[in-house]
Amino acid sequence: MDSFVYHAPTRIVFGKDTVDRTGTELAAYAVKHVLLVTGGSSAKRTGAYDRVLASLKEAGIGHTPFEGVTPNPSLELVESGIDAARACKAKGVLAIGGGSVIDCAKAIAAGVYLDDYWAVVETRKPVTQALPVFTVLTLSGTGSEMNERAIITNEPLAKKWSLNGLCLCPKVSIIDPQLQAGLPWRLTASGGIDAMTHVMEYYFRGRLADAQTGYFHEETTLQICEGLLRSLILSLDELQKDGANYSARANLAWAACWGLNGLSGSGLSGGDWTSHALEHAVSGMYPAVPHGEGLAVLFPSWMEEVYDKVPDIFTRFARNVWGVDSPQQGLEATRAAFARWGAPQRLSHWNIPESAIPDMVKNAFAYRALGRLTPLSYDDVMRIFMRVL
Ligand code: NZQ
Ligand code: ZN
């Protein structure tokens, strides 16, 4: 098992009607005025917005609205949010939304202390100063509510890159699963698949320690990952039948949170993350591609490229997650589940042409080291894209 640091400092307030506690939670941090960041209309449609406002008012906390964050948020949006936060002298940033709104809020929180946000992203160095971030989660999947990164797209450069820093971990995240009760199935599935891929990006770096007993070096973490994956799969199946199933919403939300807060990756050498780099290359160039759906297309193709090179962990995955025997059956079960949940299966779903692929491969290599689990050449990565064109 690799050495690691586990640090998950976000206070989670979880359960029915917890959205009404937003003001009290912020008051504990002596925050007097926040920039209130939201997306299109879901914060208002779910009732979360009015309830947050009422609770801020009761706690004597002022707010300045910053509305209209779009999925796969752009640098331009972040820059106008930074101006808004400076203008209202915000003492904190409160997000109501999914990963895009939360990431935008984190970027603004750090950006108020930076002269040039993107220049810092390009250095790959963690930021050390940010306004305190608070979130009210309305869409589970990314894990942004409990981690230290913000993913923003520089559209002119077609780069979708992350900014990291401990100061970006939200101080408090309110997870009220009832706010997700009316989510369209497509968004539920996309979030759940994203969460599954976070766990799997780490999981496949597990190494067999004892061929006779089947014991792995990272046994504890792998068992946690398998539990998270099985719960995500079951919860998605339940929600596909009945989107109003509170227990399934709650379990999906909790498992997604743990999918990317450090626990599922402990001892697993930082994971692989090739599929995420590929998806960021796609949605960096085509911002209309939802993150989870892009992964539903690319992750199985990546699995197909690598599974026979690391058979021990893929065999374990097949058996312990899907109850089937071989790596190939594990891959097929994953692909079949994504299809059963209605996720797109090819890049052509978004009219992405073959001619765009070389640039996407280049972008992915520029973003991060690819093929940490098993080496991947430029041609291998081309093949991962071409297989699902
Ligand atoms: O804009 P609104 O009206 O809020 O609608 C949103 C949006 O259209 C809607 N929505 C959210 N909550 C809803 C709802 N609709 C009905 N009812 C609700 N309760 O959902 C749509 C998609 O929202 P978005 O926030 O874009 O989705 P998601 O949570 O999947 O976030 C995706 C972003 O997070 C990044 C992705 O790259 C992408 O930019 N990621 C962030 C990570 C992190 N910070 O750790 C890690 C991930 O791997 C990922 O890269
Ligand atoms: Zn993701």
Q: What is the pLDDT of residue 191?
A: 98
Cβ–Cβ under 8 Å, residues 319 and 222:
no
Percentages helix, strand, coil for the chain (3-state, rounded to 5) are: 55, 10, 35
Q: What is the pLDDT of residue 255?
A: 98
The residue type found at 89 is: K
71 CA: nearest ligand 1 atom: 26
Say how many Å lie between the CA of residue 212 and the centre of ligand 1.
44
Q: Tell me how far apart the alpha carbons of residues 101 and 94 are, in angstroms, rounded to a whole number.
A: 10
Span 120-133, mean pLDDT?
97
- What is the token pair recorded at 331? 């891959």
Say how many Å lie between the CA of residue 169 and the centre of ligand 1.
17
Q: Tell me how far apart the alpha carbons of residues 216 and 313 are, in angstroms, rounded to a whole number.
A: 9
Q: 3-state class of 169 per DSSP?
A: coil
Task: Render pLDDT for 43-83 as a digit per residue (tens, 0 to 9).
Answer: 999 999 999 999 999 999 999 999 999 999 999 999 999 99
pTM summary value: 0.98
Say how many Å lie between the CA of residue 194 and the centre of ligand 2.
5
Residues contacting 86, CB < 8 A, separation 6+:
112
Q: 3-state class of 40 per DSSP?
A: coil
- Measured in degrees and rounded to the nearest 5, phi and psi for residue 209 equal -100, -35
- What is the token pair recorded at 314? 């893929």
Q: What is the pLDDT of residue 369?
A: 87
Residue among 80, 316, 352 nearest 217 (CA): 316
Cβ–Cβ under 8 Å, residues 91 and 75:
no
Span 169-195, mean pLDDT?
98
- What is the token pair recorded at 300? 């199985």
Cβ–Cβ under 8 Å, residues 75 and 152:
yes
Q: What is the pLDDT of residue 368?
A: 86
69 CA: nearest ligand 1 atom: 1
Q: What is the pLDDT of residue 278?
A: 98
Say how many Å lie between the CA of residue 218 and the centre of ligand 1.
31
Q: 3-state class of 259 per DSSP?
A: helix
142 pLDDT band (50/70/90 cuts)?
Answer: very high
User: Regarding beta strands 208-210 and 215-216, do their DSSP bridges make them parallel or antiparallel, or are they unpaired?
Assistant: antiparallel
Q: Tell me how far apart the alpha carbons of residues 45 and 348 are, in angstroms, rounded to a whole number.
A: 32
| Whether residue 71 has its Cβ less than 6 Å from ligand 1 | yes
Which ligand has the shortest distance to the CA of 145? 1
| Whether residue 99 has its Cβ less than 6 Å from ligand 1 | yes
Task: Render pLDDT for 320-365 as a digit per residue (tens, 0 to 9).
Answer: 999 999 999 999 999 999 999 999 999 999 999 999 999 999 999 9
Q: Tell me how far apart the alpha carbons of residues 148 and 98 are, in angstroms, rounded to a whole number.
A: 15
> Average pLDDT, whole number, for the chain?
97
Cβ count near 161 (within 10 Å): 21
163: enclosing H helix or E strand:
strand 159-164
181 pLDDT band (50/70/90 cuts)?
Answer: very high
Report H helices in the chain.
22-27, 42-45, 48-58, 75-87, 99-111, 117-123, 185-203, 219-241, 246-259, 274-285, 291-306, 311-317, 327-340, 357-367, 378-387
Which ligand has the shortest distance to the CA of 190? 1
Q: Tell me how far apart the alpha carbons of residues 64 and 35 are, in angstroms, rounded to a whole number.
A: 5
User: Regarding beta strands 208-210 and 62-66, do their DSSP bridges make them parallel or antiparallel, or are they unpaired?
Assistant: unpaired
Span 362-389, mean pLDDT?
95
User: Regarding beta strands 33-38 and 62-66, do their DSSP bridges make them parallel or antiparallel, or are they unpaired?
Assistant: parallel
The residue type found at 38 is: T
Which ligand has the shortest distance to the CA of 40? 1
Q: Per residue, what are the HEC states of 48-68?
A: HHHHHHHHHHHCCCEEEEECC
Task: Render pLDDT for 190-249 as a digit per residue (tens, 0 to 9).
Answer: 999 999 999 999 999 999 999 999 999 999 999 999 999 999 999 999 999 999 999 999
